[in-house]
Amino acid sequence: MPWKEVSRMDRRIEFVALAQQPGANRRELCRRFEISAKTGYKWLGRASAAEAGEWYTDRSRRPHASPQRSAAELEAGVLRLRDEYPVWGARKIWRCLLDEGLLAPAVSTVHAILVRHGRLIPPDRVPARCRFEYPAPNLLWQMDFKGRFALRDGRWCHPLTMIDDHSRYALCLEACSNEQGATVRGHLERTFRRYGLPDTILVDNGTPWGNGPGQGWTKLGVWLLKMGVDVVHSRPYHPQTRGKNERLHRTVKAEVIAMEIFCSLAAVQAAFDRWRPIYNHKRPHQALGLEVPASRYRPSARSMPSKLPEPEYQTGEVVRRVGTSKGYISFKGWLWRVPEAFQGERVAVRPLEGDGHYGIFFGARQIADFDLRDRQDSEA
Q: Are 155 and 291 found together in one domain?
A: yes
Asked whether the beta carbons of 341 and 218 are under 8 A apart, the reply is yes
Asked whether the beta carbons of 166 and 291 are under 8 A apart, the reply is no
Q: Would 266 be classed as within a structural domain? A: yes
> Phi and psi for 48 in degrees, rounded to 5?
-90, -10
CA angle 51, 52, 58 (to 5 degrees): 135
Q: Are 153 and 288 found together in one domain?
A: yes
- Give the model confidence (pLDDT) of 225-284 as tens digits: 999 999 888 766 555 566 788 888 898 999 999 888 999 999 999 999 999 999 899 888
Q: DSSP state, 332? A: T
- CA atoms of 221 and 366, how far apart (whole Å): 13
Asked whether the beta carbons of 305 and 193 are under 8 A apart, the reply is no
255: domain CATH number?
A: 3.30.420.10
Buried b (16+ CB within 10 A) or exposed e, 153-181: eeeebbbbbbbbbbbbbbbbbbbbeebeb
Q: Are 340 and 210 found together in one domain?
A: no
CB-CB neighbours of 70 under 10 Å = 18
Q: Are 84 and 48 found together in one domain?
A: no
If residue 75 lies in a helix (H) or strand (E), which one and from where to where? helix 72-84
Alpha helices in 156-293 (DSSP H): 181-195, 219-226, 243-255, 265-281
Q: DSSP state, 38? A: H
Ordered mean pLDDT values, 10 residues apiece, the chain (380 residues) = 56 80 82 85 80 64 56 77 75 78 73 70 46 83 91 93 93 94 94 93 83 72 92 69 81 90 94 92 83 90 91 92 92 92 94 88 91 67
Give the global pTM: 0.66
Which of 234, 260, 295 represents a domain boundary (last residue)?
Answer: 295
Q: DSSP state, 259? A: G
Give the chain's domain count.
4
Q: Would 130 be classed as within a structural domain? A: no
Q: Would 150 be classed as within a structural domain? A: yes
Q: Would 311 be classed as within a structural domain? A: no
Residue 159 belongs to domain spanning = 140-295
Q: Would 243 be classed as within a structural domain? A: yes
Asked whether the beta carbons of 217 and 210 are under 8 A apart, the reply is yes
Q: Would 131 be classed as within a structural domain? A: no
- Give the model confidence (pLDDT) of 168-200 as tens digits: 999 999 999 999 999 999 999 999 999 999 999
Q: Are 147 and 229 found together in one domain?
A: yes
Q: Are 9 and 35 found together in one domain?
A: yes
Q: Are 259 and 363 found together in one domain?
A: no
Which of 234, 262, 295 represents a domain boundary (last residue)?
Answer: 295
Q: Are 84 and 105 found together in one domain?
A: yes
Q: Are 24 and 101 found together in one domain?
A: no
Q: Would 80 be classed as within a structural domain? A: yes
Long-range pairs for 104-110 at CB < 8 Å and ≥24 separation? 104/74, 105/70, 105/74, 109/70, 110/78
> Phi and psi for 91 in degrees, rounded to 5?
-65, -45
CA angle 311, 312, 317 (to 5 degrees): 120
- CA atoms of 268 and 150, how far apart (whole Å): 11
Q: Are 161 and 271 found together in one domain?
A: yes
Q: Are 49 and 90 found together in one domain?
A: no
Sign of CA dihedral 60, 63, 69, 72: positive
Q: Are 200 and 109 found together in one domain?
A: no
